[in-house]
Amino acid sequence: MKKALFGILAVIMLVGVMGCSSEEEMSAAKPSETTEPTEAPSSWKIDYYVDDFGDKTEEGYIVGEFQGTFDNTAGKGNDLLVYLYYNQSSYGSNFAFRLGEYGRSIATYLSSDLMSLNMKIGDVTYTTELFGTPPNGDLIFYPTIEGRSMLEESYYIMSDTREDVWSAFINALNNGETISCYIIIGDSDDQMNRVLSGVGGTKYSFKIDGQGFAEQVALLGK
């Protein structure tokens, strides 16, 4: 009886050992899981102009979408949605800012208003003037206004050399840097008060992430 019992125990132990060995072999044979590298998300994309019939043409542009806030007489920290367009054509390149107050209503302004773009790249700050068509046209940043007879820079905006601001701006985007910006819309008194006392006009604050900008420009150029 004891011999039979010892025999049964021996068989059970042998099966257990074989089972463990099989599980270890299966585990060892299982391929390791790897994670594919993923690209950082970009705020930029390519889109195309449309013709008079609403059909897309072959002429494209780059557009980025960013969040921010704006301050006016009604309150501070209001929601802001910014679309930044980069246009390249035979007439030259430019950036166009479209400011969506509360995320939906395009900012309006008067023909007497001035628009200043203020930015910080690294530790360096820049200021330049934007131009638009009232009451709610996009605010255009030109690399130069030479040859544009309708445009004249205002004495009330303490602008840096336009070409220097343009170079710093587009180089930062091409390098994937983040640019801190605010735009002031207001008349000449508002612009001067903003410089002297930090108040005046409507202030639109946002950050532009340059990640992916250069890649989209390269794709558009193909």
Question: Does residue 101 surpass a pLDDT of 90?
Answer: yes
Q: Where are the alpha helices (DSSP H) in the chain?
A: 2-29, 162-174, 188-197, 213-220
User: How are beta strands 56-72 and 202-209 bridged, if at all?
Assistant: antiparallel
Tens digit of each residue's pLDDT (9 = 90 or more) over 26-35 = 333 343 444 4
The pLDDT of residue 40 is 62
Triad 63, 64, 68: Cα angle to 5°: 140
Q: How far apart are CA 56 and CA 100, in angstroms?
A: 24
Residue with the bigger pLDDT between 218 and 23: it is: 218
The pLDDT of residue 151 is 85
> Per mean pLDDT, which range of 11-25, 42-56, 64-78, 112-126 is the poorest?
11-25
The pLDDT of residue 155 is 87
Token reading at 113? 């208003």
In the chain, the percentage of residues whose pLDDT exceeds 90 is: 66
**Mean per-residue pLDDT, 116-124:** 97
